[in-house]
A and B are shown apart, each in its own frame.
Chain A
Amino acid sequence: MNLPVHTERLTKRYGGLTAVQDLDLTVRAGEVYGFLGPNGAGKTTTLRMLLGLVRPTSGTVRLLGRPPGAGRLGGVGALIEGPAFYPYLSGRDNLRVLARYAGVGADRVSLVLDLVDLTERAGDRYAGYSLGMKQRLGVAAALLKDPRLLILDEPTNGLDPAGMADMRTLIRRLGAGGCTVLVSSHLLGEVEQVCDRVGVISRGRLIAEGSVADLRGATGLRVLADPLEVAAARVGALVGEERVRVVDGGLDLSIEPDRAAWLNAELVDAGVAVRELRPRERDLEQVFFDLIEKGTADVA
């Protein structure tokens, strides 16, 4: 069976800057794959290489088993780095023009407009759309060909919380319908609920890959203590301020749970009354942050 996405040692250099380095990316049929990394990590460059918009410096790309070449994008739909359309045409006419390039009938246009909930405003000029509407039109265009592989680059950018929820619902529905989805984001929390697997890219390298539960892995500590400020300052001095967050009248610590006894002794020494000290699931954004820091440190 052909893998929807398979790259080997994919590399792109812009002059002295290596945007993507030796990337081995594999997305399996039917899964929703989260491609995560901070801004500038190389996500968009990678996706552009998948689509043939940018030529790799070295390495290979295969989409649905096919090497680069004409006709390679059959069955593939994509939204890369923000929506871009003709401002003087309506949303519907933009899709009609794209449908001609895609070689699909006009019936698909109405269908995808419905899918992204844009039918009502489809007759308005694109120039007058809000950012969220533009983003949804971008997703609609990506769906025109009824793709088997859907590539979405930061599809939740510019959406309000309700729009983000809609987008997640749509991705989940497409995934359930057998479509393979590769979705990028710089925020783990935005896509973790819909992803079967995630890969984390930092400075052009894939630094971690697995299910969200795999990545979450280690846990931290939750501390309730009085006075909280003194406790926070003391713990911050001990383990580093970036590992301490004040949440809901307590402290969330990103440290190994087996340091609880040691921490308790330190706090009591400092005159802090510890009311509660227990293991805690690590915050996903913190996992993400730690991974990226670690990956960056490994590379440096």
Chain B
Amino acid sequence: MSRSFRAETVKLVRRPASWLLLAITLVLSLIFTYVFPYASIAGGTTGPNADRTLPMLLPDRLVGNSLGGLPVFLGSIVLILGVLTVGGEYGWGTWKTVLSQGPSRLEVYAGKLLTLAAAALVVVLAVFAVGAVSSALIAVAESQPVHWPSAGDLLTGIGAGWLMATMWAMLGAVLAVALRAVALPVGLGLVWMLAVQNLLAAIAAPLLDWVAQLQKGLPGPNAGSLAAALGAPGDTPGVAASVGGGQAALVVAGYLIAFAAVGGLLLQRRDIG
């Protein structure tokens, strides 16, 4: 399996789309978490997230601020990465090329999932790093004291972020296997993350009690609860404490494993061709 992991890592790292996705992730989190709120504080203007106050942008809020995007926006991007990594083999017809070299399907698939898990960690670490630099700059600019979160909080935050990001990547992977393509899984995944989840939360849940209950079992609201429990700002889309942080972490981990397993099962059973 390590040979498969190394091969997948090369494919991911050499693929221009991977770096584009990482760049978009960092730019989005920088702009929405720090640039817009800070600009509105500094200039007194209104804009997205403009009601955040200066203490919310300082280094001691790094963990919450870095996790806020993962329930929806950054999660969507990681989902796309998951679809690309697995769906590309269908799109280019390269499953047969790889499998003809002799590895088993599950060996290749496991290599892909490991690579995605590693990529998710890189994304989360990069988001934390960009946040650390941004918040430190703001603190210095505003002559505020620089207090960092404790190492324990940082590790917990990074772990939770990795859990969410990996879960979304696995959702992308299972969608790609199920639909044996790239475009449709990306489209459906984004519709689910950006539209359906919001509609359920904003419209259906307040009207129907059973939808509100059902929501508590879905991956998005659990990721949102996990982020909220670790201090993500409550005005971020998708961040809301509907269940406790510990339960949310367990549910997210459950989805991660379920997505990975279902994808592997489907890939194992179906014909390639």
Check: A121 CB closer than 8 A to any chain B CB: no
Main secondary structure of the interface of A (DSSP, over half): loop
Supply 21 A–B pairs (Cβ within 8 Å), ascending by A: A48-B273, A51-B99, A53-B95, A53-B99, A55-B271, A73-B101, A78-B100, A79-B100, A80-B96, A85-B97, A86-B15, A86-B88, A88-B15, A93-B14, A97-B11, A98-B98, A100-B6, A101-B108, A102-B101, A141-B100, A141-B101
B273 contacts which chain A residues (CB < 8 A)?
44-45, 48, 53-54, 81
Query: Which of B4, B14, B101 is most buried by chain A, counting CB atoms within 10 A of its CB?
Result: B101
Once bound together, how far apart are the Cα atoms of A76 and B103, in whole Å? 12
Which B residues have a C-beta under 8 Å from some C-beta of A?
3-4, 6-7, 10-11, 14-16, 88, 92-104, 107-108, 271-273
Once bound together, how far apart are the Cα atoms of A175 and B16, in whole Å? 41
Contact A86-B94, Cβ < 8 Å, known A53-B271, A101-B108, A103-B3: yes
Tell me how far the C-beta of A64 lies from the nearest C-beta in chain B, rounded to whole angstroms.
Answer: 12
Q: Mark A89-110, 1 if CB is under 8 A from B, else 0.
A: 1000100111011110000000
Once bound together, how far apart are the Cα atoms of A102 and B102, in whole Å? 6
Q: Is the CB–CB distance between B7 and A101 below 8 Å?
A: yes
Tell me how far the C-beta of A94 lies from the nearest C-beta in chain B, rounded to whole angstroms.
Answer: 8
B271 contacts which chain A residues (CB < 8 A)?
48, 53-55
Tell me how far the C-beta of A23 lies from the nearest C-beta in chain B, rounded to whole angstroms.
Answer: 17
Q: Which of A34-89 contact B (CB under 8 A)?
A: 44-45, 48, 51-55, 70-74, 76-89
A53 contacts which chain B residues (CB < 8 A)?
95-96, 99, 271-273
Tell me how far the C-beta of B266 lies from the nearest C-beta in chain A, rounded to whole angstroms.
Answer: 14
Q: Is the CB–CB distance between B97 and A71 below 8 Å?
A: no
Q: Is the CB–CB distance between B96 and A97 below 8 Å?
A: no
Once bound together, how far apart are the Cα atoms of A84 and B273, in whole Å? 12
A89 contacts which chain B residues (CB < 8 A)?
11, 14
A144 closest partner in B (C-beta): B101
B10 contacts which chain A residues (CB < 8 A)?
93, 96-97, 100
Check: A145 CB closer than 8 A to any chain B CB: yes
Q: Is the CB–CB distance between A86 and B102 below 8 Å?
A: no
B99 contacts which chain A residues (CB < 8 A)?
51-53
A76 contacts which chain B residues (CB < 8 A)?
102
Main secondary structure of the interface of B (DSSP, over half): helix
Q: Mark A133-158, 1 if CB is under 8 A from B, else 0.
A: 00000100110110000000000000
Q: Is the CB–CB distance between B272 and A101 below 8 Å?
A: no
Tell me how far the C-beta of A140 lies from the nearest C-beta in chain B, rounded to whole angstroms.
Answer: 11
Once bound together, how far apart are the Cα atoms of A51 and B4, in whole Å? 19
Tell me how far the C-beta of B4 lies from the nearest C-beta in chain A, rounded to whole angstroms.
Answer: 7
Once bound together, how far apart are the Cα atoms of A93 and B13, in whole Å? 12
Q: Is the CB–CB distance between B104 and A88 below 8 Å?
A: no
Q: Is the CB–CB distance between B101 and A84 below 8 Å?
A: no
B94 contacts which chain A residues (CB < 8 A)?
84-86
Q: Is the CB–CB distance between A84 and B93 below 8 Å?
A: yes
A103 contacts which chain B residues (CB < 8 A)?
3, 102
B96 contacts which chain A residues (CB < 8 A)?
48, 51, 53, 80-81, 84
B6 contacts which chain A residues (CB < 8 A)?
100
B111 closest partner in A (C-beta): A101
Once bound together, how far apart are the Cα atoms of A51 and B97, in whole Å? 11
Q: Is the CB–CB distance between A101 and B103 below 8 Å?
A: yes
Tell me how far the C-beta of B51 lies from the nearest C-beta in chain A, rounded to whole angstroms.
Answer: 43
The one of A87, A96, A100, A141 that contacts B97, using a Cβ cutoff of 8 Å? A141
A74 closest partner in B (C-beta): B102
The one of B3, B92, B95 that contacts A100, using a Cβ cutoff of 8 Å? B3
Query: Which of B16, B98, B102 is most buried by chain A, counting CB atoms within 10 A of its CB?
Result: B102
Q: Is the CB–CB distance between A98 and B101 below 8 Å?
A: yes
A90 closest partner in B (C-beta): B14
Q: Is the CB–CB distance between A100 and B14 below 8 Å?
A: no
Q: Is the CB–CB distance between A101 and B101 below 8 Å?
A: yes
